[in-house]
Amino acid sequence: MTAITNRYEFVYLFDVENGNPNGDPDAGNTPRIDPETGHGLVTDVCLKRKVRNFVEIAKGGEEGCNIYVAEKGVLSLTREPAYKTEEVKKLKKKEEQVAAARQWMCENFFDVRTFGAVMSTKENNCGQVRGPVQLTFAKSIDPIIPAEVSITRMAVETEKEAKAQDGDNRTMGRKHIVPYALYRAEGFVSAHLADGDKGTGFSDDDLELLWQALANMFDHDHSAARGKMSARGLIVFKHQDKLGNAPAHKLFDAVTVTRNGGDGPARAFGDYVVAVDEGAVPGGVDVDVKF
């Protein structure tokens, strides 16, 4: 595979309706929130997990598209085949073995090639990889007010519970939801970390697969807890070369998301207006609105 030769930045928009997009385990799994501003948060790790899951569904078993950080995976066992290759076996020096194993992992695992990985453990050491693709935390456009909804289950787990409730088998529970929120994340794609001797080999095909994942990953991630989540926008900025033609923040500032003037809290994507000021984009940068 030929590594990418252009730098990219992108703005990614997605929303949630009556669901919990990313629960905080340190706060009873309530939706993550910035305590100072009230804006909702979704971590980069959460978004990367969904990208990994989509790639595993769409490309599972295809050469070069395995997932290293797979759900319920055992990482040391996943790295083990790297040390069974002829390229690694013939090397005598430990640092050379690690470098060759690192290269093998990049060639075979999409998420290592894309996001990087720390694989420098005692067992099957494959070194460290700094990934060319990185994401910020997603932040809601407006402050959110999470709701706690009571729910009932018309059954109990054991006979003892049934007897204790005098024939009333209902048990109570709670769900944490965000009635509606539109989130914005920003991302970076570095050609320097994809190409070269220490690059991961992240290619144009990998890039297209990343765009495909961002567009479709929520359609394969539905659950009772997450409610209705949808990808709403992907605006990509492509530079002419590896170095780039403009600071990332100037490109991000060209994308604005504002309320359309309606009264009351936002409850749908139509309550917002997304605008891209292409006149504010410096020369040498192409803008591609994917959706």
Euclidean distance between CA atoms 286 and 6, whole angstroms? 11
AA letter at 220? H
Indicate the Cα dihedral angle 81, 82, 88, 93, nearest 10°. Answer: -120
Are the C-beta atoms of 280 and 223 separated by less than 8 Å?
A: no
**Tokens standing for 88?**
């690694």
Cα distance from N-terminal residue to C-terminal residue, the chain: 27
Q: How far from chain centre, in Å, is Cα 19? A: 18
pTM of the model: 0.93
Query: What is the structure's pLDDT at 122?
Result: 87
Query: What is the structure's pLDDT at 192?
Result: 96
Query: What is the structure's pLDDT at 68?
Result: 97
pLDDT in tens, 178-199: 999 999 999 999 999 999 888 9
Q: How far from chain centre, in Å, is Cα 256? A: 21
**Residue that the structure tokens 């290592």 belong to:** 112
Mean pLDDT estimate for the chain: 94
**Tokens standing for 70?**
């797979």
Query: What is the structure's pLDDT at 17?
Result: 97
The residues near 150 (Cβ < 8 Å, ≥ 6 apart) are: 172, 173, 174
The residues near 288 (Cβ < 8 Å, ≥ 6 apart) are: 235, 236, 237, 238
| For the chain, domain boundaries | 8-164+172-289
Quote the DSSP letter at residue 271. Answer: G
Q: Which residue stretches of the chain have pLDDT < 70?
A: 165-169
Query: What is the structure's pLDDT at 169?
Result: 67
Query: What is the structure's pLDDT at 196?
Result: 83
Query: What is the structure's pLDDT at 166?
Result: 65
